Amino acid sequence: MRNQTQHFINGEWVDSTGSETIEVINPATEDVIGKISAGTKEDVDKAVSAARKAFPEFSKSTKEDRIKWLNAIADGYKKRSKELIDVMTEELGAPLSISENVHFKMGLAHFKQAARALDSFSFSEEKDGHTLVKESIGVSGLITPWNFPTNQTSTKIAGAIAAGSPVVLKPAEKTPYAAMMLAEIIHEAGVPKGAFNLVNGTGDEVGDAISSHPDIDFVSFTGSGGVGEKIMQNAAKTIKKVALELGGKSPLVILEDANMKKAAKTAASNMFFNSGQVCTAATRILVPKTKKDEFEEAMKEAVSSYSMGNPREEGHTAGPLVSSGQWDTVQSYIQKGIDEGATVLVGGTGKPDGLDKGYFAKPTVFTDVTNDMIIAQEEIFGPVISLIYYDDLDHAIEIANDTIYGLAGYVFGQDPEKLRYVASNIRAGQITVNNAKTDFNAPFGGYKQSGIGREWGEFGIEEYLEVKAVLGMPS
Ligand code: NAD
């Protein structure tokens, strides 16, 4: 049992001021794996006051010190690889290979990338006869979701350390243990006490206390749009800057000249990746009308080559959904799709054969979907995708942009001019052409209701900085 009911404040684990706890569940077995503390407003006050105290020195730390800390965190993180991989499989249900090759590696990449970006980052420049200085924004509140337990926390923490901003982190209560390991790694890396604080708890109590705290200068939030809206409203009371990384309903536009088998594999890999619990997942697959039959055959074949099952057994590409609540949500969307008249090409409601225990959902592909259907408009956050057919490229772009979201977009095909045309006309923060590799220095964030702000690499550092103009500075 992982009963870890303390918070990390001012360089040490401390008891909560409250006595309530939250159970953490292994979604593959439905067993309780431990408890964490349901922190209180007073716990947040303590953490903020430690961060405030750390601010004057931490914000003036040198670039060399920050690079040293980030690299030491990366080293400590690597040393604890086995434990981190294991805990993410336990709390999230990700197959061990995904915990290692995706979750663990993404977390590591952010610390390394921030150190690299910082090396060439300029905190001061002369412009038009004035001096422009970039200074730490102050104390930052970080609130993260469960779907990428180390990626979401690491990208924020790395940016904040690089900018000299002390933080108070509230990780997701469903996946708190990887974040708690990070607290120890950060401390052992020599980051000054008070610069990193972690308070566990619910969004309504701890998250709310962070977003409304008068001594927090900036809130960086990743999560759902509804909570993002509440955070913005809370932050408005003290005119706090907010960065919001929210949901998506991203399109994958398949060009007519694409190899349909390869295109279907790309679509299927998006559906299975993290069991579809990915904000950037391509959940609307836009296929030329002329290729409908060919693509559907290819899609059925592609899906059959993936497997879902016990995350601790070798060979599975996907595990369960994170919770029973998430399972219910996904089921209700699959039912809505059926009720709306879409055709189930693969999957459907209920649990996959042989997977009665655990929150496993059937990977589901809908066809004959129109873009006005609920399943094409709302974020499902599970292994469910919709095939939508288009007449010509302008029609595809019209469909691609016809949602409230703008987080990511994908285009797959051969003609360079058409690839460019689609990439430049989708209104989203990141477009991937033909499965291009992830770049941890490329900015990440959304247009429209997918959010405000950018994370990762040098753009991620900028989030934690203010710009000061000094006029008339004697040289
Ligand atoms: P969520 O919004 O329910 O919770 C996210 C975090 O906010 C959790 O730590 C939660 O405890 C906290 N929270 C809840 N209520 C709060 C409140 N009133 N005040 C302050 N904090 C509160 O989201 P989730 O279910 O954990 O994650 C799934 C969502 O996250 C999806 O919508 C997904 O698209 C989004 N997401 C976005 C990105 C991105 O980078 N754009 C990445 C991952 C996930």
DSSP conformation letters of 259-321: -HHHHHHHHHHHHHGGGG--TT-EEEEEEEGGGHHHHHHHHHHHHHT--B--TTSTT-SB---
Give the neighbor-by-neighbor strand order of the sheet with 241-245: 12-15, 6-9, 196-198, 167-170, 140-143, 218-222, 241-245, 451-452
At 346 the pLDDT is: 98
> What are the residue ranges of CATH 3.40.605.10 in the chain?
2-246+450-456+464-471
CATH of 2-246+450-456+464-471, one of 3.40.640.10, 3.20.20.30, 3.40.605.10, 3.40.50.10320: 3.40.605.10
Reported as a single tens digit per residue, the pLDDT across 153-164 is 999 999 999 999
The answer, yes or no, to whether residue 300 has pLDDT greater than 90, is yes
Tokens of 340: 């709306």
Contacts for 416-424: CB closer than 8 Å, 24+ residues apart: 418/255, 418/257, 418/393, 419/255, 421/393, 422/253, 422/255, 422/393, 422/396, 422/397
Stretch 115-129: mean pLDDT, rounded?
A: 96
Rounded to an integer, what distance in angstroms lies between the CA atom of residue 157 and that of residue 155? 6
| Ligand 1 atom 35, closest CA | 223
Q: Give the CATH fold of the 250-439 domain.
A: Aldehyde Dehydrogenase; Chain A, domain 2 (3.40.309)
Tokens of 248: 């998506």
User: How far away, in angstroms, is 126 Cα from ligand 1 center?
Assistant: 40
Assess whether the C-beta atom of 166 lies below 6 angstroms from ligand 1.
no
Tokens of 219: 């809130």
> Who's near 6: CB < 8 A, 6+ residues apart?
13, 14, 15, 16, 37
> What are the residue ranges of CATH 3.40.309.10 in the chain?
250-439
User: How far away, in angstroms, is 56 Cα from ligand 1 center?
Assistant: 31
Q: What totals of helices (H) and strands (E) does the chain contain, helices first?
A: 16, 23
Reported as a single tens digit per residue, the pLDDT across 312-365 is 999 999 999 999 999 999 999 999 999 999 999 999 999 999 999 999 999 999
- H/E segment holding residue 228: helix 225-236
Stretch 413-424: mean pLDDT, rounded?
A: 98
At 473 the pLDDT is: 80
User: How far away, in angstroms, is 193 Cα from ligand 1 center?
Assistant: 27
The answer, yes or no, to whether residue 182 has pLDDT greater than 90, is yes
Assess whether the C-beta atom of 91 lies below 6 angstroms from ligand 1.
no
Percent pLDDT > 90 in the chain is: 99
Please provide the size of the chain in residues: 475
Rounded to an integer, what distance in angstroms lies between the CA atom of residue 165 and that of residue 106? 22
Stretch 224-250: mean pLDDT, rounded?
A: 98
447 near 250, Cβ under 8 Å?
no
> b/e map of 286-306 (b: 16 or more CB within 10 Å)?
bbbeebeeebbebbeebbeeb
Rounded to an integer, what distance in angstroms lies between the CA atom of residue 234 and that of residue 203? 13
Partners of 264 in beta bridges: none
Residue type, 4: Q
Stretch 44-49: mean pLDDT, rounded?
A: 98
Rounded to an integer, what distance in angstroms lies between the CA atom of residue 400 and that of residue 187? 45
Stretch 415-443: mean pLDDT, rounded?
A: 97
Mean predicted lDDT score pLDDT of the chain: 97
User: How far away, in angstroms, is 413 Cα from ligand 1 center?
Assistant: 34
Tokens of 376: 């094409």
Q: Which residues are catalytic?
A: 245, 279
Dihedral angle sign, alpha carbons of residues 431, 334, 245, 143: negative
Residue 474 pLDDT class (50, 70, 90 cuts): confident
Tokens of 275: 């069991």
Nearest of 454, 450, 470 to residue 462 by alpha carbon: 454
> Who's near 401: CB < 8 A, 6+ residues apart?
425, 426, 427
3-state class of 284 per DSSP? strand
Assess whether the C-beta atom of 207 lies below 6 angstroms from ligand 1.
yes
The pTM (predicted TM-score) of the whole model is 0.98
Atom of ligand 1 nearest to the CA of 227: 2
| Ligand 1 atom 40, closest CA | 245
Stretch 378-405: mean pLDDT, rounded?
A: 98
Reported as a single tens digit per residue, the pLDDT across 84-118 is 999 999 999 999 999 999 999 999 999 999 999 99
φ, ψ of residue 142 to 5 degrees: the values are -115, 125
